[in-house]
Amino acid sequence: MQKIMLMGIAALAVLAPVAMAEESSTEAAYRSVAQAQEMFAANGTDAFEQISGSNVDPFVFVFGTDDFVIVASSDFPELEGEGGFYPSQAGYTRESLLEHLGECDGLWMLYHFEPEPGVILAEILWLSEMGGYVFGSGFFLPDLNLPEWLQAWYDEQLKTMVRLLNVAAGCECA
């Protein structure tokens, strides 16, 4: 019985931030990426300075498809030119990620981000490629500090949610 209650609590932790948002977290991520891509279409790489200087919710970031180095980030501008996007933290190689992005308008993924040593944040990201850059946005997941057995179940539920988001987005290749 206790395991079932813990599973229910974990499921609510995933759904609560999405349900409480005025606009769904997924729609907000789509919007942030689309707005950043519109700025890029209008201003080229000058848009990256605007993106990094903005305070948007949800966050938005951009990395190059050639080297995967962050060129703009609304939440972590200190990563620009230094930090990289590591597809392996979501189960992809660089090549497979770019292949999926080439086949679809965008791609959802579960990503583990380490903004500083020892701090790992889980996030659900929407990525879309345009003009040699990948634009991304999404939402962070709460750190539930779950027992190992429950964390494994929780991670599987998140992966299922990401697969369903990709199907809904028309990207069944992921």
- Tell me the residue range of the domain where 117 lies: 2-168
H/E segment holding residue 110: strand 107-116
Confidence band of 174 (pLDDT split at 50, 70, 90): low
Is residue 173 in a domain?
Answer: no
Is residue 121 in a domain?
Answer: yes
Is residue 150 in a domain?
Answer: yes
DSSP collapsed to 3 states, 47-63:
HHHHHHCCCCCCCEEEE
Beta-carbon contacts of 72 under 8 Å, excluding residues fewer than 6 positions away, are: 36, 47, 48, 49, 51, 52, 60, 61, 62, 80
Is residue 21 in a domain?
Answer: yes
pLDDT value at 18 more than 60:
no
Please give the DSSP secondary-structure letter assigned to residue 74.
Answer: S
Residues 6 and 53: their CA atoms lie apart, in Å, by 41
Is residue 131 in a domain?
Answer: yes
Residues 5 and 107: their CA atoms lie apart, in Å, by 32
- Structural domain total, the chain: 1
Average the pLDDT over 81-87 and give the result. 86
DSSP collapsed to 3 states, 9-26:
HHHHHHHHHHHHCCCCHH
pLDDT value at 161 more than 50:
yes
For residue 105, what is the domain's CATH number? 3.30.450.20
Average the pLDDT over 143-153 and give the result. 87
Instruction: Order across the sheet with 70-73: list the strands.
Output: 70-73, 60-64, 133-140, 119-130, 107-116
Distance, C-alpha 101 to centroid of its chain: 14
Is residue 174 in a domain?
Answer: no
Is residue 73 in a domain?
Answer: yes
Is residue 32 in a domain?
Answer: yes
Average the pLDDT over 109-122 and give the result. 83
Average the pLDDT over 26-32 and give the result. 94
